[in-house]
Amino acid sequence: MLKIGCHLSSSRGFLAMGKDAVKIGANTLQFFTRNPRGSKARKIDSEDVASFLRLAREKGIAGIMGHAPYTLNPCSASNKTREFTLMAMTDDVLRMEYLPHSYYTFHPGNHVGQGVETGISLTAAMLNQIMQPGQTTTILLETMSGKGTEIGSTFAELRQIIDRVTRRDRIGVCLDTCHVYDAGYDIVNDLDGVLQDFDRNIGLENLLAIHLNDSSNPLGSRKDRHAAIGKGTIGLEAMVRVINHPRLRERPFFLETPNDLDGYAAEIALLREAFQD
């Protein structure tokens, strides 16, 4: 069965979010661990979490993903920004333990002119500080489009970060289809080739989740603007090949497309229909 969900708001609590997921036919979901632009994290209500976990078990919702806010930058040139990022991500990972064995995805960062090498070593060093001995959460590096000074827009860069992480059992990659396409990986005409490249660099066993987004911009544009499924430059046929690919089909897929709940429900139904059981 296709494991698919979308990005949902947790602002009304976990149980409300779980109910939204059920309503739109999702069996997984993603949420921001704290305000995506600011920094505030809402207090966790353990009763709300318990009700959510009960609902998730009943409805078969699994592979849950927390997403770090966009404002963090583990490889910033500013000590203050890096310290804040360390504090927020460490706290996020602890909070994710309320939902044991989930995923926590983050953007590897912007080197802001310090160079890719420095970016990679700062981000890797921070990951080694964030990871906790008993943690059940797996931290995922997201594949980036390469806009500005983003690191992690090539599989080789992601591999270099992972290589320096000590807790290899709790690190993986979340592949964002819009981002890799904008970074120049042609998943429309050569999905197998792109996945072979991923496998050579990182190992497909480390590709643990997929952000399923169409793109508003052409291959290699380094733009990062998500389009609704089938409404962008990637197109529905290529998306359907992604969800059915033998090396990807077991993974959880998360839509981050411009949609309201009804729009997400329609995309989920469309993709379920196109999934070959």
Looking at beta carbons only, is 3 or 211 nearer to Fe ion? Answer: 211
Q: Is the dihedral of CA 137, 207, 145, 148 positive or negative?
A: positive
Query: Which residues, at least 6 apart from 16, have a Cβ–Cβ distance to it below 8 Å?
Result: none
Site size toward Fe ion, by CB under 5 A: 3
Looking at beta carbons only, is 18 or 69 nearer to Fe ion? Answer: 69
**Subset of residues 223 to 252 that bind Zn ion, contact rule: CB under 5 A:** 224
Among 3, 95, 159, 211, binds Fe ion (CB under 5 A): 211
Q: Does position 92 bind Fe ion by CB under 5 A?
A: no
250's tokens = 């077991």
- Compute φ and ψ for 118, nearest 5 degrees: -65, -45
Q: Does position 226 bind Fe ion by CB under 5 A?
A: no
Shortest distance, position 261 Cβ to Zn ion, whole Å:
20
133's tokens = 């001995």
Beta strands in 34-187 (DSSP E): 65-67, 103-106, 138-142, 171-176
Nearest residue to Zn ion, using CB? 224
Looking at beta carbons only, is 71 or 90 nearer to Zn ion? Answer: 71
Q: Does position 176 bind Fe ion by CB under 5 A?
A: yes
Q: Does position 95 bind Fe ion by CB under 5 A?
A: no
Beta strands in the chain (DSSP E): 4-6, 30-32, 65-67, 103-106, 138-142, 171-176, 207-212, 214-215, 226-227, 253-255
> Which segment (4-12, 113-121, 169-177, 189-197) binds Fe ion by CB under 5 A?
169-177
Q: Does position 214 bind Zn ion by CB under 5 A?
A: no
Q: Give the residues lining the site for Fe ion (CB under 5 A).
A: 142, 176, 211
